[in-house]
Amino acid sequence: MASSQPGSPSTVEQDVPPPPETEPTEEKEDKNQQLTTRRGKGRPAKSQHTFKCSASHGKDKQPYTCGQCNKAFSKLRNHSRSHTGEKPFVCTECGKAFMQAICLRIHMTQHSGERPHSCPHCSKSYPTLSKLKVHQRSHTGEKPYFCTECGKSFADPSVYRKHRRNHQGHRPYSCGQCGKTYTELKDLKNHERSHTGEKPYLCSDCGKAFSRSSSLACHLRIHSQSKPYQCEQCGKGFTQLSSYQSHLRTHSGEKPFLCPQCGKMFSDPSSFRRHQRAHQGFKPYPCDKCTKRFRQPADLAVHQRVHSGQRPYKCQNCDKAFVASWDLRRHMLVHTGLRPFSCTECGKSFAERSSLNKHRRRIHSTKDHTNI
């Protein structure tokens, strides 16, 4: 141990920690190169010291405003096509065009037959998981999209958004023939076919044509005898969800569609719309053979059979045939002897509701008037 020299201050030995071992420069470079490779080509290695910028840089902003409807979007190009009708994405198989690339990709699964998402409750399958989730709500009855203005709820978010536009009064697409307005361009195109008579969707099994692709899809279930919507109370099956939902109301007695003019209530939306046209006197469907006009295309189709002589509804018990299905049902009561409409006043029963109403007016209204 060395002794301190005279005249120099004394020193005390201390345990000083050694400097940290440093990796060789080549090893550092190799590690940085490996980290760069893992993070992706051309991206720098992640620093241990990260500094976060508090500015949002417009991430939550919607800087682009549509000049036609004043709506704001983060990307305006897709929305502007809803006004112009531009559809740049064309299917090479059938020629159908779409406004967005994602819609074309979903459509292509119809040609490839790829439907990887199957419903565990029925035999239906779908090309996307989102469509399957919407379908499953038809089994569970779940309707998570609630309208705060009218209380109506929806299972499908796209139907909910369309419904919201009705409250907002935003219906920019107008029919040039009858003035009816729509929230979406595709709904206007479907409606215009009711005036032109165009039916581009053809059934390959029987040749029947339809103005809407959804109508053709429902019709095809008749040939396949597929009825995916089954009533748990009575076992009756339906090809369409709307028919199934209307049928459920016959058990519950629910009538959610209220006429604002007379207060009459309906369980079926189509019956409600038909009733409203009766108040308005609106008959947009003319017959090209005579001067008659009709409130809905189904009534026009039945009437046209009078001119053509077509009677597609035949009785299995006799040789009679009818132009309309309800005429056949009424005729079948002759064979069965059923009289389902009973008078609550006297118990007399009738085969037709109209006969019951006539009976009430003639007999019981007269009695009431006499007693008064």
- What are the tens digits of pLDDT across the range 291-311? 998 877 778 888 999 999 988
CA–CA separation, 43 vs 59, rounded Å?
22
* Plot region of 350 (φ>0 → left; ψ -120 to 50 → alpha; else → beta): beta
pLDDT confidence tier of residue 372, bands split at 50, 70 and 90: very low
Q: For 219-242, what is the mean pLDDT?
A: 81
**Mean pLDDT in residue range 79-99:** 81
Q: Is it the case that residue 25 has pLDDT exceeding 60?
A: no
Residue found by looking up tokens 């074309």 in the block: 104
Instruction: Dig out the tokens for 328 from the structure.
Output: 């056949």
pTM: 0.38
Q: Which amino acid is at 304?
A: Q
pLDDT band at 32 (very low <50, low <70, confident <90, very high): very low
The residue that leads in pLDDT, 12 or 362, is: 362
The predicted model gives 183-194 an average pLDDT of 84
Q: Which of 25-34, 91-100, 117-126 has the lowest mean pLDDT?
A: 25-34
pLDDT at 11 over 60: no
Q: Which among 84-98, 257-271, 298-312 has the top mean pLDDT?
A: 298-312
CA atoms of 19 and 329, how far apart (whole Å): 100
